Amino acid sequence: MIRIGILGDIGSGKSFVAKNFGYPVFNADYEVSKLYQKNKNVYQKLKKKLPKYIFEFPVDKIQLSNAILANNSNLKKIVKIVHKEIRHKLRSFLKKNKNKTLVVLDIPLLLENKINKKKDILVYVDSRKTDILRNLRKRRNFNPKILKKFKEIQLPLAYKKKNSKYIITNKFTKKSVKIEINKILEIIKNERSGSRY
């Protein structure tokens, strides 16, 4: 199984690119939102660590935002609890798709939390700052202060770009993204057919 890890800035359209590969996608953001809505165990752990902020189930964005903005260490506490569960979900996803040729990992803290493996093919999504900002503003509850906190716990974009095998320029149109994805898939296919695995 070939694993493709999607990297890039917050709001650069990583999920949009991931979806257009046409293979199973593990979307960590979607899985996290499900945990907040349905997993009482996660709620209890968050409540224990952040009783002043997390006090009601399902956990909503207001509780989380208040916790993140109140203290620099709170986001790290939340990530630690949530990412443990995300690893379990990822294992189930990989098991379910073990016979697939390729899977796409759309995980914001892929490198930071050392979820990637050495053989993973890293693809960096490059977008213009104006497009990123427009994309972020479309999101409900967009908060620049929270965005800043998330950026603080992430590795520099230059590092991610440098460590990626491929770069996709995302112009936020399906046609242009598909052209770039097809080029990458063609190279991967040729490389694999010429190798032993």
Nearest to 124 by CA among 87, 85, 79, 160: 160
What's the confidence (pLDDT) of residue 195?
Answer: 55
CATH number of 2-189: 3.40.50.300
13: left (phi over 0), alpha (psi -120 to 50) or beta: left
For the chain, the structural domain boundaries read 2-189
What's the confidence (pLDDT) of residue 102?
Answer: 97
Reduced to 3 states (helix: H, G, I; strand: E, B; else coil), residue 70 is helix
Q: How far is CA 169 from CA 7, 62, 127, in A?
A: 12, 34, 6
pTM: 0.92
Q: Which amino acid is at 150?
A: F
Sequential pLDDT tens for the chain (197 residues): 999 999 999 999 999 999 999 999 999 999 999 999 999 999 999 999 999 999 999 999 999 999 999 988 999 999 999 999 999 999 999 999 999 999 999 999 999 999 999 999 999 999 999 999 988 988 877 889 999 999 999 999 999 999 999 999 999 899 999 999 999 999 998 988 765 44
